[in-house]
Amino acid sequence: MDTAEVIIEVDNVTTAFGGHVIHRNLNLTVHRGEVVALIGGSGSGKTTLLRLLLGLEVPQAGSVKIFGHPLGRCAVRDLERVRYRWGVLFQAGALFSALSVFDNVALPLRELKSVPPDLIKPLVMLKLAQVGLKPDDALKQPSELSGGMIKRVSLARALILDPQLLFLDEPTAGLDPDSAKQFVKLLRKLRQELGLTVVMVTHDVDTLFAVVDRVAVLAEQHIIASGPLAEVARLPHHFVRNFFLGHIQRCEEDDLRRFRLSLDDTSDEGGVPAVLREEQTV
């Protein structure tokens, strides 16, 4: 894995807003096929780091490279090469409230201006099924959706261009435990099927246990630790200690594997979303 291709490279980045320094000499590298979680306290700059990675903010110093293309000062052609290859799930979904679910998911495809409509329709319906939505949901408006469904639609929209890199901002925040579990299962399934590289910001310990390969802890303006869950959880840092309070035992590798196998158990609740299972039996 150490020799795997580098997808994201954050090099000595410093960010400041109005004299207030958020990141100082921050470094982060993400390799292909990895699922990396960013954790950190409120106000530690997780969201800002994510925005840096997305090119929505420009660092004061240092550089951010995605797929080897530097963000910010790159040619339009390069940026296009990046933007069509990533998908982003925003925390509140960021669905276009004026468009129906179908149109929301179809939008990135239509913007390519080169995909025939008879290909768009099945592609969108496939993605909706993949994230566990019913065909009828396609005609709903975003205002009619529940929080969990908004996340699913947003995920479908993020996945519609079959990206190689997926950014998730608090994917399970605001979901009830069952929905969160379903969502995590969905992520695992998608990851297995699509071989995605995933960067996520999360506070949810269960999500970490379920899908994450590597945890990066953001505190004191830089990444203080980055490594497998079991290693990071033992870090003698007060934030990390509070974060994993009562979960230390679960970080053991055997326990972790057992937990993940239980999630992948397809015999019962399984990775297949409930909607699809119903359809198969019909």
- Chain residues binding another protein by CB under 8 A are 1-2, 5, 7, 31-35, 66-69, 81-82, 84-85, 96-98, 102, 109, 112, 114-116, 118-119, 121-123, 125-127, 129-130, 135-136, 138-139, 141-143, 161-162, 164-165, 192-195, 197, 213-214, 227-228, 230, 253, 256-257, 260, 276, 279-280
CB burial class (10 A; 0-12, 13-18, 19+) of residue 133?
A: buried
Of the two residues 53 and 109, which places its CB atom closer to another protein in the complex? 109
Which two structure tokens, joined as six digits, stand for 99?
Answer: 């468009």
Q: How far is the CB of 35 from another protein (least distance, A)?
A: 8
Question: d(Cα 263, Cα 253) in Å, to the nearest integer?
Answer: 15
DSSP-based three-state secondary structure for 116: coil
Of the two residues 245 and 261, which places its CB atom closer to another protein in the complex? 261
Of the two residues 227 and 270, which places its CB atom closer to another protein in the complex? 227
Please state the three-class secondary structure of 56-70 as a single string: CCCCCEEEEEECCEE
DSSP-based three-state secondary structure for 159: helix
Q: How far is the CB of 79 from another protein (least distance, A)?
A: 12
Q: How far is the CB of 16 from another protein (least distance, A)?
A: 28
Of the two residues 29 and 221, which places its CB atom closer to another protein in the complex? 29
Q: How far is the CB of 27 from another protein (least distance, A)?
A: 15
Write down how long the chain is.
282
Q: How far is the CB of 164 from another protein (least distance, A)?
A: 5
CB burial class (10 A; 0-12, 13-18, 19+) of residue 71?
A: buried
Of the two residues 4 and 21, which places its CB atom closer to another protein in the complex? 4
Question: d(Cα 63, Cα 10) in Å, to the nearest integer?
Answer: 6
Q: How far is the CB of 181 from another protein (least distance, A)?
A: 18
Question: d(Cα 208, Cα 214) in Å, to the nearest integer?
Answer: 9
Q: How far is the CB of 97 from another protein (least distance, A)?
A: 3
Of the two residues 22 and 158, which places its CB atom closer to another protein in the complex? 158
Region of residue 101 (left: phi > 0; alpha: psi -120 to 50; beta: else): alpha
Sheet with 35-39, side-by-side order of all strands: 86-89, 165-169, 197-201, 35-39, 214-219, 222-227
Return phi, psi of residue 35, to 5°: -115, 110
Which two structure tokens, joined as six digits, stand for 91?
Answer: 């925390």
DSSP-based three-state secondary structure for 274: helix
Of the two residues 22 and 53, which places its CB atom closer to another protein in the complex? 53
Question: d(Cα 197, Cα 30) in Å, to the nearest integer?
Answer: 8
Q: How far is the CB of 65 from another protein (least distance, A)?
A: 9
Of the two residues 224 and 276, which places its CB atom closer to another protein in the complex? 276
